[in-house]
């Protein structure tokens, strides 16, 4: 079976640290798409004795202490830890594209991504970049994909992702809710192998609008759309719109295979608070499996040996689990 492609992300962030530390721990189950000079320099800074070998020599039985690298040239391989350099913006995106082409050709079976700095990539000449999720959507020419964060016992998918708060109400449309919910249903059934998923859909306003007294989106948009979806998918338990302030208490959260939040900061903080360090990001609706760490570049920790590998290891394990499950 082919292996995973792992992109470390921003050379100045903790992505290279995580790959090296995971290799030392024997948990780097995949091939790193990176400039080998960046990995070598970071290993020297960290003082960690890893071997850096070419991807062509990959041996699944010899991964502890080894970073297998499929080389992609960086514009600034001397990029020091703690500095996010716009010069390397193209390199970050080229690494992802290289990995995706490798999946398309059968060289790799899934993508695991490390953190990038969105502002740095935009400053590096890619002004439309808003994140991995949207980049992957556009690479594959998909009309829509879904960002989902998952911890051990909580999954949250988003109707909207990286939008200013002021733009969210007008982005909550029947068409968008229908599209996102359908993608979530198909992913839970086909990728996660849950034949009859239980999905909780959150409202947009406080107390889910309080019957229209605190906002009309629930009554006019969300509820009618859910009624349409219930008729279309009678075997799916689709509940909502639910008040976000109680949807995540344990007794209610345990009844859902996935929650659908209307916007980024309605759902993501709950997952990160609940499982930060072990929770991961999964893109639904792609023709490939993509998982990711749930944290940023952590420039203040880069090169210091202080970063936890929990998120990267969890993303690697979930990518392996999902691709094995649907093979």
Same domain, 247 and 154: yes
Give the burial string for 2-41 (b: 16+ CB within 10 Å, else e): bbbbbbbbbbbbbbbbbbbbbbbeebbbbbbbbbbbbbbb
Residues 80 and 207 in one domain: no
Domain range for 229 is 146-282
According to the model, what pLDDT value does residue 1 have? 55
User: What's the number of domains the chain is made of?
Assistant: 2
Instruction: Clarify whether residues 176 and 257 are in a common domain.
Output: yes
Q: Are residues 160 and 273 both part of a single domain?
A: yes
Query: 38 in the Ramachandran plot: left (φ > 0), alpha (ψ -120 to 50) or beta?
Result: alpha
Residue 152 binned pLDDT confidence (cut-offs 50, 70, 90): confident
Residues 87 and 121 in one domain: yes
Q: Are residues 187 and 305 in the same domain?
A: no
Same domain flag for 72 and 31: yes
Does the pLDDT value for residue 326 go beyond 70? no
State residue 153's pLDDT score: 87
Q: Are residues 44 and 161 in the same domain?
A: no
Mean pLDDT of the chain: 95
Q: pLDDT tens digits for 163-196?
A: 999 999 999 999 999 999 999 999 999 999 999 9
pLDDT tens for 90-114 read 999 999 999 999 999 999 999 999 9
pTM: 0.94
- pLDDT over 90, % of the chain: 94
**Residues 234 and 178 grouped into a single domain:** yes
Asked if 278 and 298 sit in the same domain, the reply is no
Task: List, for residues 6-24, the tens digit of each pLDDT value.
Answer: 999 999 999 999 999 999 9
229 and 245, same domain (yes or no) = yes
CATH code at position 20: 3.40.718.10
Give 172-178 contacts, CB < 8 A, sequence gap 24+: 172/204, 172/217, 172/221, 172/222, 172/262, 173/221, 174/221, 174/224, 174/225, 174/228, 176/144, 177/201, 177/221, 177/222, 177/225, 177/226, 178/225, 178/228, 178/229
Percentage of residues in the chain with pLDDT exceeding 70?
A: 99
Using the predicted structure, report yes or no on whether residue 119 has a pLDDT greater than 70. Answer: yes
Residues 253-282 have a mean pLDDT of 92
Let me know: does 87 contact 310? Beta carbons within 8 Å: no
Looking at residue 141, its pLDDT comes to 97
Residues 173, 78: one domain?
A: no
């Amino acid at each position: 079976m082919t292996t995973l492609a792992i992109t470390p992300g921003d050379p100045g962030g903790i992505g290279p640290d995580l790959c090296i530390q995971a290799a030392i721990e024997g948990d780097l189950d995949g091939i790193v798409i990176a400039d080998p000079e960046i990995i070598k320099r970071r290993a020297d800074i960290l003082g960690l004795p890893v071997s850096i070998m070419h991807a062509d020599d990959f041996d699944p039985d010899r991964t502890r202490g080894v970073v297998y690298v499929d080389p992609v040239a960086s514009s600034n391989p001397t990029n020091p830890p703690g500095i996010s350099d716009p010069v390397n913006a193209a390199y970050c995106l080229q690494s992802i594209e290289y990995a995706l082409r490798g999946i398309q050709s059968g060289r790799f079976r899934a993508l695991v991504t490390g953190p990038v700095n969105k502002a740095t990539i935009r400053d590096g000449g890619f002004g439309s970049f808003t994140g991995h999720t949207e980049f992957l959507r556009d690479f594959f020419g998909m009309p829509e994909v879904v960002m989902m964060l998952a911890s051990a016992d909580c999954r949250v998918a988003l109707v909207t992702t990286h939008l200013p708060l002021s733009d969210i109400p007008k982005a909550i449309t029947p068409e968008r809710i229908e599209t996102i919910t359908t993608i979530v249903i198909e992913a839970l059934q086909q990728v996660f192998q849950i034949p009859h998923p239980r999905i909780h859909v959150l409202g947009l306003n406080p107390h889910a609008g309080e019957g229209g007294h605190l906002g009309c989106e629930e009554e006019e948009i969300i509820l009618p759309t859910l009624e349409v979806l219930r008729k279309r998918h009678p075997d799916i338990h689709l509940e909502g719109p639910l008040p976000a302030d109680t949807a995540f208490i344990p007794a209610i959260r345990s009844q859902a295979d996935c929650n659908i939040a209307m916007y980024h900061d309605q759902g993501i903080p709950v997952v990160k608070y609940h499982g930060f360090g072990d929770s991961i990001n999964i893109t639904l609706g792609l023709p490939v499996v993509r998982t990711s760490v749930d944290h940023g570049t952590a420039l203040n920790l880069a090169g210091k040996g202080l970063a936890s590998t929990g998120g990267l290891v969890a993303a690697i394990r979930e990518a392996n689990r999902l691709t094995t499950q649907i093979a």
